[in-house]
Structure 1
Amino acid sequence: MCLWKNWSIQLFVLLGLIFQIILAVLGSRRKISSAKTIRFVIWASYPLGSYISTHALGKLTSVSLNKSEEEYDTELIVLLAPLTLLLLGNPDSITAYSMEDNWLGWRRVLNLIVTFPFVVWILVRSWKTSIRMILYFPMFVAGIIEYGETIWALYSAYDESTNMTPVTPGDFNEEKEMFFALLTRMNCQKVIPDQEIYFEAYYWFDCLKPHLLGRLKHPFFKLDRRCPINQYSPEDVFLITEMELGFTYGVLYTKAPVLYTKLGITLRVISYFNLLLTLGGFMGLFFDKFLRDPYVIYMFGLLIGVVLRETYQLLKLFNSDWVIIKITNHLENPMVLKFLQFLVKRSLKKERRSNRIWQFNFLDFCLSEKQPWHFKILKLFGKAEKFKRYWLKKSMQIPKYVKELLVKDMKKFEIKRDYRPFTKRGQWSLGAHESLDKLEWSIEMTFDRSIIIWHIATHVCYHSCHKNSNNKETSKLISDHMMFLLVHPQILSLTTAEITYHHTYTKLKTFLNKFAKENILKVLLAPDPGQECNSFEAVITKGWNVLEEARTLARELKSTKDTWQLVSSIWVGMLCFAAYNCQQYQHAKLLRQGGDIITHDAAFNE
């Protein structure tokens, strides 16, 4: 008990620092990785770091103080108060775990208003005439700056995501002139290859700003935004889109909109200088006690950890696409020019998104007999089937040919829709392949039904066709991804998706269990696979013969000329339709989960 009483506060502060270091290192990883382990660690560290630091600050208010001139234990314990304030300001890489944290920005302001007097009271309460007290001031300044930057960033994201200010043509013209002035200046110098890609990405981001609800889909910004897109290769188009989404992620979830300003840089330098001043002062005042007093050793290690965290963040600060944009106005300086050349070359090689696509094959799911050890336990609570959905999903690397076909078809759709809302999900493709009359029925039904029957038909055609082609593989890849999105109905914002899915799962599983796996394709291509009627069906699925419709569609597709060109184009159209009509909140959520190809499509088609 005596050990806990003497070291409990120090333990809480140490744990708070460890969680903050984890967030500083892994916080930015979630935009390029969908790994569950990383997401879990960040999910746990984000609230625990704040909770433990707040708890430590609370215990500091009740600690017994010794104001003896000879004793320095009080100074060491109370120095933890401003240090805890610094830890309560989140790392640069993660100011908000989710969009909801941005909406609670004003609550963080209230927390600061409450926390600040407590820290001041702890310092005043322990005040005594000692030279060691000077360590409080630089640490206190650094803590106020760190916490203030977090609130500033949260408020900035909240203010932009709720801004409904009307947009005028003058706003667009002003931003356009600024962009082309910088671009012209850069082209005249011709000293940094590929820098134009960064400007194009920032232009897409700055003109449309997908996180600004007031400017989203505004006609003034859509008219000119994609004009030069034809000059880029599909790989460059995806790279530009990834950069655009990176800027958006930075605004929504990090301190980027604060740090990459003159005031932000100035505050960061002041904060870092104050931390170095605290560390240097501590080493000078307690140098003779380093190897003798465990409190001194602990405090020295803690300060080293804080300084190392800030050093890491400072280095990461200059390794960003934001820097490439912000320092372009200073290219006349040879040192800046060399640094920019190095930065562009390095930046082009770094990973920006997960570049993976989630897959869920409905027929394989129905036929799968794999069951994890805890499946029977979940079955008792009615969660087995839902868990199995998530358990059997998989992800694949997005091949280059898929990106090429996506960009090719999206450019065609962009011309067809002429900047109007994306309301078509296959009519343009059917019309181009002269199949509108015989297949229009399959895309005029509700979107969830259409996805299911096209998914089953694509599966049947894929495994019954032995000729390989990029269109065939792309069709299968997007088909399985659209089915993955359907089993996550909140992404597609389909109110009937869950009911439609369960109806199809029940019918399909009952039907497939009657046959051996090797005969499934033959049965699905048979004249009439049949389907039992159920008087207890939901109203929205009553009378829907999913097997018959999927069989009819598969037969029609197999008899169509250029089958896989048509199927791949239909699936791209469905993906674009889903991306355009997906809620912006869901796109923002996907950004912090490694990204998704549906968000890329949305950024391209806005």
Structure 2
Amino acid sequence: MILLCIQWSLMAGVMRLWNGWGVQILVLVSFMLQVFLLMFAGMRRRNISIVPRNLLWLAYLLADYIAVYILGHMTFFGKSHGHQQLMAFWAPFLLVHLGGQDNITAYSIEDNKLWPRHLLSFVMQTAGVVYVLYKYVAGSSILVKVSAMIFVSGFLKYGERVWALKSSSLDNMSRFLDSRKLSEAKRKWRAPWTQGEGLDLEETLQGGLDQGEKLDLEKVLQGAHDLLPICMAQLVDYKFWPSTLQSQTLELFANKGQMFELVEMQLSLMYDFLYTKAAVVFTWYGCFIRAISSVATITAFFLFQSSIGKNDFNRVDVIVTYILLVGAVFLEMMALLKLIGSTWTCALLCARRWHRLHRLHNMDMCIL
């Protein structure tokens, strides 16, 4: 009997703790999961043991489930009005968290096939955030402005995730190869490392490279990017016949004894295409989303900091809000640094002939 009473007392204490601080705890857990994924999701690129692989799988699933759970329960606060306003302000941050990190959008190829389900979830969760903000935050002029900034960032990032899932699906990959095949037929294909506009692969093969000289990693990387459609075609069983120049490029890598290096880089690029936001981030639309999201997040931080002294909010809630704001800025800055140091950025600068920016990119890589 005494043991039963102790158990009931412990359960009652846990319930009181959960009713009072459950939302705060889950919001911070959601943020910590995003940091974990940002730091460690890249481990899946290599062959890792079952324990870290399962931890990543668990974090990937919990990141979505916890955010959706919190949003679903934000209409049942039962708190004071000021408490409700600040907690409702956390709703747009959950949209940001649902947008995920650039280095992981799918855990398996099948996740990309489920992009319509994520699209429906995107619509429903966005509507839920709008409802929560309208119900609890509309009365605060300061929080409305800050919430609008974070909502814009969350809306763009979550929409970008759905777009990345759709772009990385195998069906979309076949359509991409169709368009690539058509574009290749309309223009002369050039070797990825040619410097002049009039220099083609034939000149490079005839005298541009010494027979005993190895291609440096940068040139191998550019070759891997330019020949990536051939690797994609093998994955989706698509008949993408390499052109004569592409075949000569493959022969050049074989003669140099660097075919394994080429294949290794192509497999890494395929991982990026299938499991990360690479298919979207390295486009003009992706750059636009990064710019707007970063500016909106930093603006929200300074708006909140300049106005928090004028309101009587719960101190713990204010601390949680600062953690979310600073954390959002941190995630944005880390994402930008990873974007700048990416091999995709290097290949893009080379393809655009922006050699000065390319040299700056190499300096950034050394610093990072």
TM range (shorter): 0.7 to 0.9
- Give the Å deviation of 1:146: 1.0
Paired position in structure 1 for 2:166: 155
Cα distance change on mapping 1:167 and 1:109 into 2, 3 Å: closer
Q: Secondary structure at the match of 1:313?
A: helix
* Structure-2 separation of matches of 1:178 and 1:323: 21
- Give the Å deviation of 1:178: 4.4
Q: 1:213 aligns with which of 207, 229, 236?
A: 236
Q: Within 5 Å, which residues of 2 pair with 1:236-247?
A: 236-247=258-269
Q: Say yes or no: does 1:198 pair with 2:212.
A: no
Q: Deviations over 1:359-418 (max 9, x none)?
A: xxxxxxxxxxxxxxxxxxxxxxxxxxxxxxxxxxxxxxxxxxxxxxxxxxxxxxxxxxxx
Q: 1:173 aligns with which of 178, 185, 189?
A: 185
- Give the Å deviation of 1:51: 0.6
* Structure-2 separation of matches of 1:26 and 1:267: 24
Paired position in structure 2 for 1:327: 349
Q: 1:133 aligns with which of 138, 144, 147?
A: 144
* Structure-1 separation of matches of 2:321 and 2:257: 50
Q: Secondary structure at the match of 1:45?
A: helix
Q: Which runs of 5+ in 1 are unaligned?
A: 348-606
Cα distance change on mapping 1:148 and 1:257 into 2, 3 Å: same
Paired position in structure 1 for 2:156: 145
Paired position in structure 2 for 1:298: 320
- Give the Å deviation of 1:329: 4.7
* Structure-2 separation of matches of 1:100 and 1:181: 32
Q: Secondary structure at the match of 2:194?
A: helix
Amino acid at match of 2:172: E
* Structure-2 separation of matches of 1:331 and 1:340: 13
Amino acid at match of 1:135: V
Q: Deviations over 1:161-219 (max 9, x none)?
A: 454986897554347x244387343897x9x965322221112203442476263x43x
Q: 2:55 aligns with which of 14, 34, 41?
A: 41
* Structure-2 separation of matches of 1:151 and 1:64: 34
Q: Say yes or no: does 1:106 pair with 2:140.
A: no
Q: 2:308 aligns with which of 286, 292, 311?
A: 286
Paired position in structure 1 for 2:5: none
Aligned partners of 1:161 and 1:211 also within 8 Å: no
* Structure-2 separation of matches of 1:73 and 1:211: 56
Paired position in structure 1 for 2:128: 118
Q: Within 5 Å, which residues of 2 pair with 1:362-377?
A: none
Q: Deviations over 1:319-343 (max 9, x none)?
A: 1111011112554563x14214436
Paired position in structure 1 for 2:105: 95
* Structure-1 separation of matches of 2:362 and 2:330: 27
Cα distance change on mapping 1:181 and 1:166 into 2, 3 Å: closer
Aligned partners of 1:96 and 1:253 also within 8 Å: yes
Q: Deviations over 1:280-321 (max 9, x none)?
A: 112212258899812111211222222212221111111111
* Structure-2 separation of matches of 1:300 and 1:34: 35
* Structure-2 separation of matches of 1:234 and 1:38: 37
Paired position in structure 1 for 2:94: 84
The structure with the larger Rg is 1
Q: Secondary structure at the match of 1:90?
A: coil
Paired position in structure 2 for 1:7: 21
Amino acid at match of 2:343: D
Paired position in structure 1 for 2:286: 264
Aligned partners of 1:23 and 1:94 also within 8 Å: yes
Cα distance change on mapping 1:341 and 1:132 into 2, 3 Å: closer
Amino acid at match of 1:15: V
* Structure-1 separation of matches of 2:55 and 2:124: 29
* Structure-1 separation of matches of 2:354 and 2:334: 29
Which is helix-richer, 1 or 2? 2
Aligned partners of 1:152 and 1:258 also within 8 Å: yes
Amino acid at match of 2:104: I
* Structure-1 separation of matches of 2:270 and 2:130: 37
TM-score scaled by length of structure 2: 0.81
* Structure-1 separation of matches of 2:161 and 2:234: 19
Cα distance change on mapping 1:346 and 1:3 into 2, 3 Å: closer
* Structure-1 separation of matches of 2:167 and 2:154: 20
* Structure-2 separation of matches of 1:325 and 1:142: 27
* Structure-2 separation of matches of 1:169 and 1:53: 41
Aligned partners of 2:192 and 2:222 also within 8 Å: no
Aligned partners of 2:177 and 2:233 also within 8 Å: no
Aligned partners of 1:82 and 1:140 also within 8 Å: yes
TM-score scaled by length of structure 1: 0.51
Q: Within 5 Å, which residues of 2 pair with 1:450-461?
A: none
Aligned partners of 1:162 and 1:214 also within 8 Å: no
Paired position in structure 1 for 2:204: none
* Structure-2 separation of matches of 1:168 and 1:305: 40
Deviates more, 1:267-276 or 1:202-211: 202-211
Cα distance change on mapping 1:244 and 1:282 into 2, 3 Å: same
Q: Within 5 Å, which residues of 2 pair with 1:335-484?
A: 336-342=357-363
Aligned partners of 2:91 and 2:129 also within 8 Å: yes
Q: Deviations over 1:52-104 (max 9, x none)?
A: 1111111112223644xxxx323210111111111111211110000110010
